[in-house]
């Protein structure tokens, strides 16, 4: 998922699908995730590219541009799930590209340790893994609630739009 817009904006779907920055960001992440998955799976392919999902929140409805990327894990994947996840981390949607250099820049520029933020959480029953990257995250620390969120930045980014997208995504989905 890369690219979000308020559904109430006139021609929102067309705007988000034709936005140069959002297209560049989405293409970069799809390519990065395809590459990452090819390290742990075979027959990696993009089964759906740049389609619109509707996300209802308490405040508004958002349109989210998504792509679906699939692959075939080895038959013994369940005994290697930790290694598979470690190979894929950090998630490309968090790091951007080039992954190694971007992670170096993030570490140099952020003053706080991320802790669980942008890590992976999930449930694994020995056969099936249901997981997600914690891209919006609330943590209780020293009797305080700390909210962490971020956004994708490219050369085409406009700070005001990035900030608004982050604010729009703060609200918890109702479905």
Contacting residues for 116 by C-beta, under 8 A, at least 6 apart:
134, 137, 139
C-alpha span between 38 and 61 (Å, rounded): 34
The pLDDT value given to residue 94: 82
Closest by alpha carbon to 118, among 108, 133, 103, 98? 133
- How far is CA 37 from each of CA 9, 42, 101, 144, rounded to the nearest angstrom? 35, 8, 19, 37
The pLDDT value given to residue 104: 92
pLDDT band at 73 (very low <50, low <70, confident <90, very high): very high
pLDDT for residue 171 is more than 70: no
The pLDDT value given to residue 175: 47
**pTM recorded for the entire structure:** 0.80
C-alpha span between 91 and 83 (Å, rounded): 14
């Amino acid at each position: 998922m890369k690219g979000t817009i308020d559904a109430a904006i006139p021609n929102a779907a067309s705007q988000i699908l034709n936005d140069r920055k959002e297209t560049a960001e989405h293409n970069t992440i799809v390519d990065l995730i395809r590459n990452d998955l090819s390290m742990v799976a075979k027959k990696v392919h993009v089964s759906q590219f740049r389609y619109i999902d509707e996300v209802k929140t308490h405040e508004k409805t958002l349109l989210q541009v998504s792509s679906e990327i699939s692959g075939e894990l080895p038959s013994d994947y369940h005994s290697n799930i930790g290694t598979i996840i470690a190979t894929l981390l950090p998630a490309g949607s968090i790091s951007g590209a080039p992954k190694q250099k971007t992670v170096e820049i993030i570490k140099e520029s952020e003053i706080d340790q991320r802790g669980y933020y942008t890590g992976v959480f999930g449930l694994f029953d020995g056969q099936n893994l249901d997981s997600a990257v914690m891209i919006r995250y609330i943590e209780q620390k020293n009797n305080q609630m700390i909210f962490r969120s971020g956004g994708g930045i490219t050369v085409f980014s406009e700070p005001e739009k990035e900030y608004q997208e982050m604010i729009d995504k703060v609200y918890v989905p109702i479905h």
